[in-house]
Structure 1
Amino acid sequence: MAEARCPASCGEFIQGWIGGSEKLVSCPIDWFSTVEVREGVPSGEERPRMRQMLEQVVAHFGYSVTVANSLSIALDSTIPVGKGLASSTADIAATAVATARHLGETLSESILAALCVNIEPTDSTIFVLPTLFSHLNARTQFSCQAAPAVDILLLESDTTILTEDYRRHQRESALFSHAAALDEAWHRLQQSCRMQDPRLLGEAATQSAVASQTLLAKPLFSQLLALVEEFDLYGLNVAHSGSVVGLMLDVRKHDAEKLLWQINRLDGDSHYPRQHLVKMVAGGVR
């Protein structure tokens, strides 16, 4: 038996047309998918993409399909599905590493990335460090220094959005029109990591979130931006292909309870009925 777990992501710090193609940098938080792989009959309750990943890892290391058929997968996850929280990436990445560990093998981050994008567009939560990642083909994997510490007030909507549905929309012209802003946001993000400056990180995320409004608008966005200014928060980030919004702050410096009260005064609980105070964490599969 072997186990692995991968964090969720509160959307992305940045996502868009960066350096000539679509890329993103995810925002990992302290929610996890934990996967256990052991000898046993596969369950009918397994998620198909997790089974697909197990079979792919078994084949990658040169084992027969008989080995894959002798392994079962168990999942324990605290990550809501279909909200832009990287639940699917967490599931398949944790499955990949748990399978490799069960076989007595190891997977590098770059190989894990390639295996994941073979199955679906993948969040950069699979990397320990903040990483600019071409989530469709894994060709770009450019890591920064560790991100500065930030708390996030995560606003969870009832709206679910499948990544496949989001990608069916014609987005090219909007992506291209914001390319300069996203290049600037990427520069700010790198600078924030070098300087350990959460304000620069918040500025980068906010810049990308503003650009994202033309692609997938979030309810109360302008009002939430006003609260960032009013409470002197670090910034605001979004799930670019999902429905969650994160307000970036430091619980030692900012009044999270008063902020929540103000959000609910705006009728925020009708748009974002579940509100969670979470911490950013390092990425990577544990």
Structure 2
Amino acid sequence: MPEAIASCTPLCVDWARGTFGELLQGELPDGNHFLVTLPISLHSKATFLPDPNTKEISVYPSNKKKVRVAIEYLLRRFDLHLGGLLMVQSEIPEGKGLASSSADIVASIRAVSKYLSLPITPSVIEEVMRQIEPSDGVMYEGCVTFYHREVRLAGRLGELPPMMIVAADTGGIVDSIQHNRKSPQYIDSERRIFQRLLEDLRVAIARRDLDEIGRISTISAEINQKRLYKDYFDFFMSLNHRKGVCGTVIAHSGTMIGSILNPYASRTTEAMHEILQEFHDRDIKPMIYTNM
């Protein structure tokens, strides 16, 4: 392999966003398993510091093994050697269904590629991710439909309207790969429902109709409850009648569940006060996320 051509910059930094689970996830009548991303303002940050005295890249923390595999594949793909230290810092909790692993890998690929001035596109990142694990589609900006098992873009849905999510962690850690392998198959009627919901969601996002987006995410959460049971589910469903609350959203292969709120609705502040009090009464720790 040739030596990598050094960038004039001493280091390179890049980021990737996490997602709050999925607005919609299931299987279509054609057999494709899909998800629709819900990007939020949690990030993974990767900093690459080159070292001309070595031909290997060290990853910190050392437990980010998937990051190492991704970068090794990237360098092989472009027939390059490179040495240095790749440091990954993340705000995204692991094993909760918030795309922590995917965001770590995407941020790392972006940082190293920036240093090398490589022509990295989301499709190249897909190729790298495909060697490692199913992915959440976080290499794309905005909301997308993604074939996560194939690691392939299905379609871009555009920017979501502003939203807040008041959420809870139901506890534990879910191995999404194992969950997807063991989860019961969808039946034909569910596949047809997912097809219709995806079509409805395209229209709702184009119209920036947050109430309709929340209705769709709630149905997806209800279907998934039979596959990955979540504590607090009935409580979150009970919140949907409140003004300003648009629906329930979950990590379909994770531990997180939340309520979508419209930050511009007239009674959202009042609703949030009431919801936080109910969290307190039930001894549930609230977590607040936004996509802004």
TM-score, length basis structure 2: 0.87
Mark the CA change 1:53 to 1:240 in structure 2 (over 3 Å): closer, same or farther: same
Instruction: Say which of 49, 68, 71 aligns to 1:38.
Output: 49
Equivalent position of 1:277 in the other structure = 288
Q: Which has the higher contact order (CA 8 A, sep 6+)?
A: 1
Provide, for residues 22-72 of structure 1, a one-character-per-residue CA deviation record: whole Å limited to 9, x for no partner: 010111110100001121361573311101111111122221xx42xx122
- Provide the rounded CA distance (Å) in 1 between the counterparts of 2:184 and 2:104: 27
Q: How does 1:122-201 map to 2 (within 5 A)?
A: 122-172=135-185, 174=186, 176-201=188-213
Asked whether the 8 Å contact 1:58–1:99 carries over to 2, the reply is: no
Q: Which moved more, 1:34-43 or 1:203-212?
A: 34-43
Letter in 2 for 1:258: E
Equivalent position of 2:8 in the other structure = none
Asked whether the 8 Å contact 1:236–1:247 carries over to 2, the reply is: yes
Asked whether the 8 Å contact 2:106–2:139 carries over to 1, the reply is: yes
- Provide the rounded CA distance (Å) in 1 between the counterparts of 2:142 and 2:196: 20
- Provide the rounded CA distance (Å) in 2 between the counterparts of 1:168 and 1:151: 32
Letter in 1 for 2:157: C
- Provide the rounded CA distance (Å) in 2 between the counterparts of 1:176 and 1:239: 23
Q: Equivalent pairs: percent with the same residue?
A: 22
Provide, for residues 119-139 of structure 1, a one-character-per-residue CA deviation record: whole Å limited to 9, x for no partner: 111002221121111111134
Equivalent position of 1:284 in the other structure = none
Q: Compute the RMSD of aligned alpha carbons.
A: 1.8
1:170, distance to aligned residue in structure 2 (A): 4.0
Letter in 1 for 2:274: K
Asked whether the 8 Å contact 1:181–1:208 carries over to 2, the reply is: no
Does residue 1:29 correspond to 2:40, yes or no? yes
Superposed structure 1 runs of 4+ greater than 6 Å apart = none
1:10, distance to aligned residue in structure 2 (A): 0.8
Equivalent position of 1:91 in the other structure = 104
Q: Which moved more, 1:88-97 or 1:181-190?
A: 181-190
Asked whether the 8 Å contact 1:35–1:73 carries over to 2, the reply is: yes
TM-score, length basis structure 1: 0.88
Letter in 2 for 1:192: A
Does residue 1:259 correspond to 2:275, yes or no? yes
- Provide the rounded CA distance (Å) in 1 between the counterparts of 2:188 and 2:45: 37
1:263, distance to aligned residue in structure 2 (A): 3.2
Instruction: Say which of 37, 41, 50 aligns to 2:67.
Output: 50
Letter in 1 for 2:68: R
Equivalent position of 2:17 in the other structure = 7
- Provide the rounded CA distance (Å) in 2 between the counterparts of 1:45 and 1:8: 19
Equivalences, count? 271
Does residue 1:214 correspond to 2:254, yes or no? no
* Rg larger in structure: 2
1:268, distance to aligned residue in structure 2 (A): 5.4
Mark the CA change 1:277 to 1:44 in structure 2 (over 3 Å): closer, same or farther: closer
1:90, distance to aligned residue in structure 2 (A): 0.4
3-state DSSP of counterpart to 1:124: coil
